[in-house]
């Protein structure tokens, strides 16, 4: 098991359909194909070409073109995607949104086929499918299994499917049957010979009874007697252990035992038969795939960003009307206190604008965990686009706030300080977004994340230097003050404003300016370097929070798994 990557050579397909609802069926499969790569197709094609030349065989032109197209690495649109769509009967809904609880999309049966198709487009040739009929009617289950049968027979794959009470039509689609009971294998072999085995054991399936129902009941103590066919012998309950032992001596069981008992000669194996790389393509291609998907999702969710921008615009107008320049004087300490309130309100609004990252991150975590565990991409290639692509939106949002409020409020009319305030608030927004993404990735539950996120905001604001002055914070809480990113942003924006020319008036009976006096009265630092110290702290916290976000995505699992483990314990 250490000579190859098992979960990319053989894929497990869950009974739960976890997808991003905003993507179409074709986009979902195309992203899966792009991440998983061509797998062993290129090496297998090279081996096939070598053997064809050795045997002097000229391949069919159409098949040759298809195989070469399927083995071409680095394609954004893979021909295999269209092929799997056709095999699974999904071409009719290829351009339809998958959908979720809030977005109308494809049907349950089509969604189940999309879950399967995600792995069919990759290199895995063995599929382990867990109760894929959950929540589906018998007709849909038949269609799905029939589609899988086409895939298995056309592409020479293997599908091991667990089903509960399949209909006779669905049962007849299978080539082989594995009957499990009480943890033991009762029968494993061709479907056509399963009834022969039980007839040898004295049990016969009535004509009126479906074979699948018969197989589920014949090992049950409650239902077994009705199938007893030996009229000359009294009925005795046959245990599962006896069935299992009898199967070993049945000709199907003996043949299976001989096959398993013969070691496989690895000299007959081609190196490309198993997948040996953890990821299907290079790091650069994986990053490009995640960037293109994140950009597409941002366009599909553009309403969220437009709504955030409108919300910030409205709050900027409220701030303008509340702190209007005709009522904002710069003559005394009390006037300065009003300005500190306006600056604090700006920091609060810019930070709170990133709160939506919590719900947006958690909404995609289930899909991320599934694709991460299947080896689609590393966590960093998912985390980087989530952060980097939203930086331009930050520039626009902060620009709207500063353009509306700076001169309308009456801050220092200096272009340099205008752009310095804009730059600082950009970094504050980035810091807040990284913080809320980290909270979402560590909480992994919307209720826990919202509760904890609100608590963190309350703690950061209260210990940021405005609600409580630095001198008023108790000694045993002062460490929170120095760890609070709000403190650095608050001091930076205060220093940028109150060391400006609008506040250089010398107070009576004093040698210090009005701006310095305002800063001292509120417990803020008065040195000019605190602006750049605050900018540097914002950059550092942004990198720290996004690094923590990446670590959480790498090492933590879905909170559901922890609940299952706790209940099991």
Mean of pLDDT values over 39-56: 63
Q: Give residue-wise pLDDT tens across range 235-280.
A: 889 999 999 999 999 999 999 999 999 888 877 777 767 778 888 8
d(CA 492, CA 427): 11
d(CA 15, CA 132): 5
Average pLDDT, the chain: 87
* pLDDT for the residue numbered 71: 52
Mean of pLDDT values over 178-202: 93
State pTM to two decimals.
Answer: 0.84
Q: Is the per-residue pLDDT at 160 higher than 90?
A: yes
| Conformational region of residue 494, where left means phi above 0, alpha means psi within -120 to 50, and beta covers everything else | alpha
DSSP H stretches of helix in 364-484: 365-373, 379-388, 391-409, 415-443, 446-462, 478-483
**In which band, very low, low, confident or very high, does the pLDDT at 66 lie, cut at 50, 70 and 90?**
low
Instruction: Give the residue, 544 or 558, on which the prediction is more confident.
Output: 544
DSSP calls for 436-462: HHHHHHHH-SHHHHHHHHHHHHHHHHH
Q: Give residue-wise pLDDT tens across range 285-306.
A: 899 999 999 999 999 999 999 9
Residue 178 bridge partners (DSSP):
188
Q: Are 338 and 323 in contact (CB under 8 A)?
A: yes
* pLDDT for the residue numbered 156: 78
Q: Is the per-residue pLDDT at 42 higher than 70?
A: no
* pLDDT for the residue numbered 268: 75
Residue 141's nearest CA partner among 173, 119, 117, 118 is 173
Q: How far is CA 50 from its chain centroid? A: 41
Sign of CA dihedral 44, 47, 49, 55: negative
* pLDDT for the residue numbered 76: 47
């Amino acid at each position: 098991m250490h000579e190859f990557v098992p979960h990319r050579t053989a894929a497990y397909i869950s009974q739960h359909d976890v997808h991003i609802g905003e993507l179409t069926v074709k986009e979902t499969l195309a992203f899966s194909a792009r991440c998983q790569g061509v797998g062993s197709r290129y090496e297998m094609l090279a081996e096939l070409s070598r053997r064809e030349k050795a045997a002097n065989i000229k391949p069919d032109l159409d098949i040759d073109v298809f195989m070469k197209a399927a083995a071409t690495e680095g394609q954004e649109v893979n021909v295999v995607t269209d092929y799997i769509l056709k095999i699974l009967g999904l071409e009719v809904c290829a351009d339809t949104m998958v959908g979720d609880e809030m977005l109308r999309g494809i049907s349950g049966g089509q969604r189940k086929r999309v879950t399967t198709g995600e792995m069919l487009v990759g290199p895995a040739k063995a599929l382990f499918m867990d109760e894929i009929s959950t929540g589906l009617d018998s007709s849909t289950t038949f269609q799905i299994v029939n589609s899988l049968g086409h895939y298995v027979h056309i592409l020479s794959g293997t599908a091991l499917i667990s089903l509960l009470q399949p209909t006779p039509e669905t049962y007849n689609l299978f080539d082989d049957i594995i009957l499990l009971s009480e943890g033991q294998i009762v029968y494993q072999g061709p479907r056509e010979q399963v009834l022969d085995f039980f007839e040898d054991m004295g049990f016969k399936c009535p004509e009126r009874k479906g074979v699948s129902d018969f197989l589920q009941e014949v090992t049950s103590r409650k239902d077994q007697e009705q199938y007893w066919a030996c009229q000359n012998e009294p009925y005795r309950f046959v245990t599962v252990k006896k069935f299992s032992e009898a199967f070993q001596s049945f000709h199907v069981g003996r043949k299976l035992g001989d096959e398993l008992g013969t070691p496989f000669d690895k000299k007959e194996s081609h190196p490309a038969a198993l997948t040996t790389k953890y990821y299907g393509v290079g790091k650069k291609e994986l990053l490009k795939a995640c960037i293109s998907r994140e950009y597409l999702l941002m366009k599909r969710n553009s309403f969220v960003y437009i709504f955030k921008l409108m919300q910030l615009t409205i709050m900027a107008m409220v701030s303008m009307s509340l702190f209007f320049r005709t009522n904002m004087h710069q003559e005394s300490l009390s006037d300065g206190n009003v300005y500190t309130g306006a600056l604090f309100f700006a920091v609060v609004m810019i930070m709170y604008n990133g709160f939506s990252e919590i719900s947006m991150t958690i909404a995609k975590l289930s899909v991320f965990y599934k694709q991460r565990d299947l080896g689609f991409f590393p966590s960093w290639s998912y985390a980087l686009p989530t952060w980097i692509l939203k930086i331009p939106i930050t520039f626009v949002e902060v620009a709207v706030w500063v353009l509306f409020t700076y001169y309308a409020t009456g801050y220092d009319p200096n272009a340099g300080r205008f752009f310095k305030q804009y730059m600082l608030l950009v970094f504050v927004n980035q810091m807040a977004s990284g913080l809320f993404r980290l909270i979402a990735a560590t909480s992994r539950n919307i209720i826990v994340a919202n509760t904890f996120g609100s608590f963190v905001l309350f703690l950061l604001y209260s210990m940021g230097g405005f609600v409580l002055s630095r001198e008023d914070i108790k000694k045993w809480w002062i460490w929170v003050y120095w760890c609070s990113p709000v403190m650095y942003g608050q001091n930076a924006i205060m220093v940028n404003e109150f060391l400006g020319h609008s506040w250089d008036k010398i107070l009576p009976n004093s040698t210090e300016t009005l701006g310095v006096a305002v800063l001292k009265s509120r417990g803020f630092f008065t040195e000019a370097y605190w602006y750049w110290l605050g900018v540097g702290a914002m950059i550092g916290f942004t990198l720290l929070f996004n690094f923590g976000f990446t670590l959480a995505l790498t090492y933590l699992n879905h909170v559901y798994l922890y609940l299952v483990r706790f209940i099991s314990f």
